[in-house]
Structure 1
Amino acid sequence: MNESGVKKVMDTLEFLSQDREVRRLYEERQKYLHDEASMIEWATEKGIAKGEQKKAIEIEKNMLSLGIEVSVIAKASGLPESEVESLKD
């Protein structure tokens, strides 16, 4: 950490150590920022997983339209044959 960074940390530490209420507010703000980052990460992961699932279903439908047997698609995708069958509609 460079000298200005160390000074900033020391100033913050000194400021926080002077007043309990200020320290409490600082800790609440840090918790909020951490929670917000966690929510964004979770939402991003969920969105990616949902997108991957949609893409897999699209591929399976394309395979069905090409006349590939349900058993082959099920084996390749790892889905039960009944789920692959339901994609025919």
Structure 2
Amino acid sequence: MKEPAIGKAMTALDLINQDREARRLYEIREKARHDEMSLLNSAREEARAEGLTEGRAEGRAEGLSEGMAKGRTEGKLEAISAVVNTMLDRGIDVNDIADMTGLTVDKVLRIKGSN
């Protein structure tokens, strides 16, 4: 098994020993190979950057959507609590409040206890 450095040295030695036309063709092939590798690396980097951009945009949109949904839910809970407290302040029975709001009696009592 040859060491990589020895293999490169052998290739360089072969190149020196070739005639001008063969050397020119070799250099053209090597340049083409190098150019192809550069194009592949550039395409990989571009795809990676595009993927990161899309991922960040999706993450922001998802986070915004979740935040808005959470805010709406919290707002509804606050509104329900305010209505329940108003009904309690007006002397409406806990069982009647549960029937009117669709809440359980336990939930109405928890709202009452949180004030």
TM-score where L is the length of structure 1: 0.72
CA distance in 2, matches of 1:54, 1:25: 43
Choose 1 or 2 for highest CA Rg: 2
Identify the match of residue 49 of structure 2 among 25, 28, 31: 25
Distance 2:71 2:46 in 1: 37
1:81 aligns with 2:114: no
Q: Specify every segment of 5 or more residues in structure 1 that has no aligned partner in the other structure, as ranges.
A: 1-17
Q: How many residues align?
A: 72
Partner-residue secondary structure (3-state), 2:47: helix
Report sequence identity in percent: 25
Give the drift of 1:38: 0.5
Question: Match of 2:39?
Answer: none
- Root-mean-square deviation (CA), in Å? 1.5
Amino acid corresponding to residue 76 of structure 2 in structure 1: E
Q: Hey, what's the Cα distance between the residues in 2 that align with 1:57 and 1:44?
A: 20
Q: Distance in 1 between matches of 2:96 and 2:103?
A: 10
List, as ranges, runs of 4+ consecutive aligned residues in structure 1 with deviation greater than 4 Å: none
Long gaps (5+) in structure 2: 1-41
- TM-score when scaled to structure 2? 0.57
Name the structure, 1 or 2, with higher relative contact order (CA <8 Å, separation 6+): 1
- 1:2-52 deviations in whole A, cap 9, x for unaligned? xxxxxxxxxxxxxxxx62211111111111111111101100110111011
